Amino acid sequence: MGNGSSGGGGGGSSPPAGYPDPGKITSFFKELSRRFKLLGMGIKDIFEGLKVAVTAVCAAAKVGIHDIGLLIEYIFNFTEDSFTCFKQFLYNLKYCFLFYVIEMCGQILYFPIRVLVWTLRKFIHFDLQPYLDTFWAWMEKIDKIFYSYANFHLIHYPHEVRQHCYVCKRLSERPVSRQGYTVKYDWREDPSGNDPRLLQIIKGKFSQIMRGQDELKQATAPW
């Protein structure tokens, strides 16, 4: 008698037999939508990341090639100038030889004073060098005054002798050395521990590609 109402309570939560579960269908399309979105984002990030990465690599290559090219140019100019100065030295040697001998004799005569300065500084901690510097500074002033009246130097060779025997315009070693260090630290850490300059240019420029790859992995992962 009391069984006539069986099945009446809580019955409508499950779909009829043979029909798909609406909840699973909704979840499927949500997941499908999410994966398509990840697929699109992954492709976009990879292509945009490639653009950024290629631009960074090209910029780093441009800097590296420029720095190496400038170093080669400096070395070539330094070598060429040094060879030119050597030829000039040989060409003027006959004219300059006497002046070189006089200068060498002067250095020999001045050598005991250098030894005295070193000995006093080393053993009795008395520095004579400032007094010598003051003396030569006064001699320079006297030389300039004398030259202004007599057109002749007291402690220097004439201008013509200095130009022929002691002056040769060439690229100094400093820019060559400086550019060598620039090229060195393009590829290696500097003394402060900073990354190589070329690495700094491309550092972090591949992150978008990696993010795109991760998005593609999630989009194509097994369900």
- What is the Cα–Cα distance from 22 to 157, expressed in whole angstroms? 106
CA 183 and chain centroid, separation: 6
Question: Which residue ranges of the chain lie beneath pLDDT 70?
Answer: 1-20
pLDDT of 20 reads 66
User: Under 8 Å CB-to-CB from 55, ≥6 apart: which residues?
Assistant: 205
Question: Which sequence spans correspond to the domains of the chain?
Answer: 25-219
pLDDT of 190 reads 83
pLDDT of 19 reads 63
pLDDT of 18 reads 62
pLDDT of 55 reads 92
pLDDT of 206 reads 86
The pLDDT tens digits of the residues spanning 75-96 come to 999 999 999 999 999 999 999 9
Long-range interactions of 159-168: CB distance < 8 A, separation 24+: 161/96, 161/99, 164/92, 164/95, 164/96, 165/92, 165/95, 165/96, 165/99, 165/100, 168/81, 168/84, 168/85, 168/88, 168/89
pLDDT of 199 reads 87
